[in-house]
Amino acid sequence: MSGDCNTLPGALRLRFCGLDFASPIVLLSGCVGFGEEYTRIEGFSNRDAGAVVLKGTTLSSRLGNPPHRVYETPAGLLNAIGLQNPGAEHVVRRILPELDFSETRFIANVSGSTVEEYAQVTRLFDQSPIDAIEINISCPNVKEGGVAFGNYPDMSAQVVEACRRVTKKPLITKLSPNQTDIRENARRCIEAGTDGLSVINTVMGMAIDARTRRPVIGNIQGGLSGPAIKPIALLKVHQVYEVAKPHGVPIIGQGGITTATDAVEFLIAGAAAVGIGTALFYDPFVCKKVNEGIAEYLRGNALASVSELVGSLRTGRETQDAPVSG
């Protein structure tokens, strides 16, 4: 499906895991519901994004965590929603038929508490019109005492392998920054069959009410997003890019992107596309501004395509590695 997004400059177009994106912008999971979250806002359009990642979906419906589930912090946002969703069958049968696949690409976000559940949910989406599947490996593994799949390369690879066996759709694995070596995890996920990588998921944190001496978030801890994590995300994208580039595995870079300059920095670090999430909560029209800014940057630097920016970071090694003449 090529989509009907002819209003965006051609320089913004790219191919990601075999899919045509009209823009490098991806709307991140949990920030736009199941694609309809912002439709009530006059002037908002999914056409401003190359892809939309749907809310995290599990096999059975979930009510999520107790409140408070969202809390604003300096330069960031803590959230612990707890994967509230109506279940995979409901999403496939009731929600997907209501989406306009001519607007943009739609990517499912698969979550689970066991390897088997990941595979079951992936199989359901494989039999749907969804364009691609993102694997959220930051979920706790109930069979291993609640440790997160994404924090251990062996478990990450097991999930990717299980999902790969039941679908031919593009698989994108969302990597956690809350681990020892994100590069090793990326390598194992690539070997297990992932087609793309999302870098990064939220950074774990907490907030305390000094008056009551209690945690603000009902789940005690939550995921921190927003500008506060941007330097961390940029480094992780750069590190993963060095592993992914030889295999031709593209990256969706994310973490604190609020402006076109932020987006350009992630592209330079190695991201092929950029994810926007928290910024949507206070500026629903941020995507249009970011697209315009990226296009202006490309024109100002005589670049014909956004893809020419990807991985163009100048580290100084270029001069060191250059052949010496004479």
List the catalytic residues.
139
Neighbouring CB atoms inside 10 A of 96's CB total 19
DSSP code string of 62-98: B--PPSP-EEEETTEEEE-----B--HHHIIIIIGGG
Write the CB contacts of 70 (distance below 8 Å, at least 6 apart in sequence). 77, 78, 79, 81
Find out whether 278 and 259 touch, Cβ atoms under 8 Å.
no
**Coil, helix or strand for 120?**
helix
**Distance (Å, whole) CA 252 – CA 196:** 8
74 burial level (CB within 10 Å; 0-12, 13-18, 19+): exposed
Half-sphere exposure of residue 294: CA atoms within 13 angstroms, side-chain side: 38
**Distance (Å, whole) CA 325 – CA 120:** 59
Tokens coding 202: 């939220």
Tokens 């500026």 locate to 283
Among 79, 76, 53, CA closest to 65: 79
Positions of E strands within the chain: 14-16, 19-21, 25-27, 51-57, 70-73, 76-79, 105-110, 132-136, 140-141, 147-148, 171-175, 196-199, 203-205, 208-209, 214-215, 222-225, 251-254, 273-276
